[in-house]
Amino acid sequence: MNACLSLTAALVVGLGSTVVAHAQTGASTTAAPSTSSTSTAPAQGLTYPVTRKVDQTDNYHGTVVADPYRWLEDDNSADTKAWVQAENAVTEKFLGAMPQRLPTRKLYTELYNFEKFGVPYKEGGRYFWSRNDGLQQQSVLYTARTLKDTPQVALDPNTLSKDGTVALTGTAVSRDGRLMAYGIAGAGSDWQTWKVRDLETGKDLPDTIEWVKFSMASWTPDGKGFFYARYDAPKAGEALTGTNYFQKVYYHRLGTPQSADALVLENPAEKQWGFGTEVTDDGRVALITISRGTEHANGLMVLPLDGHGGYAGAKPIPVTLSFDAEYSPVVLDGQRLIVKTDKDAPRGRLIAIDLDKDWKAKDAKTWTTLVPETKDALSQASGVGGQLLLSYLQDASTLVRVHAPSGKPVRDIKLPGVGTASGFGGKWNDAETFFLYTGLTTPAEIWRLDARTGKAELFKRTKTAFDADQFESKRVFVTSKDGTRFPIFIAHRKGLKLDGNNPTLLYGYGGFNVAMTPGYNVTAATWMKMGGVYVLAVLRGGGEYGSEWHEAGTKLRKQNVFDDFISAGEWLVANKYTQPAKLAVNGGSNGGLLVGAVVNQRPDLFGAAVPQVGVMDMLRFHKFTIGWAWISDYGSSENPDEFQALIKYSPLHTIKSGQRYPAIMVTTGDHDDRVVPAHSFKYTATLQAADTGPAPKLIRIETQAGHGAGKPTSKIIEERADMLAFIANTFGVDVK
């Protein structure tokens, strides 16, 4: 059983990898337009645009905080658009003059240009997998009856727009393999439109579903319709926030308008509830996972279907709505629901919940442990071939164990090396599953696994211009400020001299229970080919060591994440991999916040920084789009204690004028409706107005682009290559 989509996904941004995956505050405010402006600040011959200030202040629990660039929050205003154009002109002039720009883009393109495959899955007697021939703007979804058949195109997103900005966001195939519901989104937006395609004819049916966000679809076994979650259509001029709009579960019956869809579940009293619905393998019920923002804890309900595998209007029955832990359904085996949980087990375990004939869960005291907690963090579980496949993280690398339905250990799956394996999806009666394996210097491989024997055989191995034999990677452990030990993964060309002179790129995330594990990505490969050292840091706040590790990097303890990242940088310097003048830091979304915070705290430790689509205004993030959902990790400025923690590290509010800063290039998209571009706009304006030394402080704003998901290949190459060229230029690296 596949895991339901979580709002956690609303804050994750990728690395440019070929495989690897945010009302009122109670503050009193005053606002009055002003004609004052910042003075221009030169940097290596740069003259930044003049950014108008307004007399805006907010009172947070007795602390008055200025917000002079509040007007930049309106990304649709003529003034903001003019500012974007002016900033992009300065940045483009600077980047265009760099001798590293074109050769870096050429190298990045060469390394990006290889076949990329998604992990196959099977439904209705068909196999499905995605493939990109190398430089296609979007990957194409293929289908075949057998693995030996010539695959046919199921859906080519490249035909949906001229510029390649329309992306496929999800698919759901009916049990008979005849129909496929699919979601699409344009310009990087989180808003999705869902349609239905006849896989035999390749034509779409009239059915159209709108106002979907953070939801997939799940068919009833009778093939007459599917479940999905959506919001009400926003009123004209009104933004969607966690206080005025909320998600609802619907059932769409084929051939009827969306207005006729049956409302399955809503809770106006809990507007922050989000839903993921999935029909069980045996087709008797649908399981509804209920999230609250990006909280790790969730609720779980059972929705009975009729005897013919259809939806007849039944109401969901709670299994648990305590929200005291994670409860992720794995498989329904008879009347026994197997669930992955961290209840009383911070690193995870499997439990069995008995359901009576009316689908009511028996008392929690009767729930039994199938697979107890281990020293390794249980990251994923699935039920395939009548067995339980459990993926663990062992110091941030994957370990896969197979257990019988009783919980008894059967075998470990041998993986190609120390790296990341993902996939292992399928149904309880399937004889096979597929998984992807990758490492920092190992491009993705797709493997087919016999679920009953444990035998794995290679299905797809891509050929790239990256010669892995010339490079090496290793895992070492670093001690943080408070004595906490954490791993970092280091990759570079073989024969590296530890003379403190190597250009080094340090990447981190550290949040939302998201595990950072080693995987091949073109950004790292290009940097290594340029002679650099690439480092992935495993920080608190992530999910690499279970819920306690995650919680140690949240709210009042968020500083732990920054301390870890700073300690990783200090370790690299102390062990003569590099020096501060040649150490760059990069991260996206929550990782952009990370970069902004550590640069403000230790500007002396870094030579360059690239925060991508970062959460930079920690006092107002919850006021925009999905930002309210991140309070579970960050806290809120509405809370006095949490405000005091936020104001101490908020990148926008902790820029230190009078200190020498590294070269910084901020990146964002003007259509980002996840981490709205105002974060990057206000941060950049503040940075440019401050006295932080001669190094450039630039912003690269992608137009007609959002948070990163579904971004066309050409835009990925241009943005990531510009990032590497900017760092190389700063460090004086000669790119050939």
Burial group, residue 170, by CB count within 10 angstroms (0-12, 13-18, 19+): middle
In this structure, what token pair is assigned to residue 412? 């470990």
C-alpha angle 525-531-534 in degrees, rounded to nearest 5: 50
Say if CB 288 and CB 297 are below 8 A apart: no
* Three-class secondary structure of residue 642 per DSSP: helix
Is 622 known to be catalytic?
no
Spatial distance between the Cα atoms of 239 and 287, rounded to a whole number of angstroms: 31
Spatial distance between the Cα atoms of 313 and 279, rounded to a whole number of angstroms: 15
Give the neighbor-by-neighbor strand order of the sheet with 368-371: 327-333, 336-341, 349-354, 368-371
Kind plus residue range of the DSSP H or E element containing 301? strand 298-304
Tell me how far CA of residue 313 lies from CA of 258, 286, 324, 439, 570, in angstroms: 16, 12, 29, 47, 60
Q: Which of 589, 636, 637, 680 is catalytic?
A: 589
Give me the half-sphere count of Cα atoms (radius 13 Å) on the Cβ side of residue 648: 13
Burial group, residue 696, by CB count within 10 angstroms (0-12, 13-18, 19+): buried
Spatial distance between the Cα atoms of 319 and 362, rounded to a whole number of angstroms: 9
Token pair 């995987």 is at which residue? 519
Burial group, residue 148, by CB count within 10 angstroms (0-12, 13-18, 19+): exposed
CB atoms within 10 A of CB 64: 11
Say if CB 80 and CB 70 are below 8 A apart: no
331 DSSP assignment: E
Is 589 known to be catalytic?
yes
Single-letter code of the amino acid located at 359: W
Q: Which residues are catalytic?
A: 589, 707
